Amino acid sequence: MISIDLEGRTALVTGSTQGIGEAVAAKLALAGARVGVNGRKPETVDATVARLNESTFTDRCFAAPGDLATGDGATALVEALPQVDILVNNLGIFGAEPALAIEDDEWRRYFEVNVLSAVRLIRAYLPGMTAQRWGRVLNIASDSAVVIPEEMIHYGTTKTALLAVSRGFAKASAGTGVTVNAVIAGPTHTGGVEDFVYQLVDKDLPWDEAQREFMRRHRPQSLLHRLIEPEEIANLVAYLSSPLASATTGAAVRVDGGYVDSIIP
């Protein structure tokens, strides 16, 4: 039986008040880690911490609020939480917009949130991890990094950049006992994705029908023919965060439901 033991480790999961981030925080807490829950609004973070501690029957989740899309916000968070063993860069924004309508400011906003938020925290926490000769950095990417969607090329481009960020920082920490990986998540069922689905299909459809129509029209490559549940992403993140994944680094590991049509991970 495989056992994931993160007892004594401290994790930070960015953008973890809902969706994939919340599921990852719960899974890491259940594996024994203390988990910093992050979001921009302290009251939302506090509510999520309470919900997670109740659902996991632990007191391992704690508040780590901050707007990581800004340098000042990242600095404040690192000052409040100066050392982590596991960093999960999950924070991200997405939305449908015609390619030719995306203005410079919107491109910059997507890079600040989806790429630079991760770079800032890796830069802050990697030295401590390498000093102790153990650490895990996981950057939550997307199938859109490889299969750029025509309806949100700005999102896809930032996720492609995140794959390069992961590979580059894995090289920067080579031989230290620290691993840096990207997780290529496929189309996942979250509140935000429900809103996104209804941007692209009939808003009057019941959710089950809307999901099927979205997958048929906009994500036909999926071999699951359904959206992935956040807990399914969290299972892989928990493994990659553990000592069991000590030989996996510099990788882009897929949990995409077979969406990316490739025999190479």
Amino acid letter at 250?
G
155 catalytic? Reply is yes
Query: Could you write out the DSSP letters of every residue in the chain?
Result: ------TT-EEEESS-SSHHHHHHHHHHHHTT-EEEE--S-HHHHHHHHHHHHHHHTSS-EEE----TTSHHHHHHHHHHS---SEEEE---------GGG--HHHHHHHHIIIIIHHHHHHHHHHHHHHHHT-EEEEEEEEGGGTS--TT-HHHHHHHHHHHHHHHHHHHHTTTTTEEEEEEEE-SB--HHHHHHHHHHS-TTS-HHHHHHHHHHHH-TT-SSSSPBPHHHHHHHHHHHTSGGGTT--S-EEEESTT-S--S--
Q: Considering 110, 155, 198, 259, which one is annotated as catalytic? A: 155
Q: Catalytic residue numbers?
A: 155
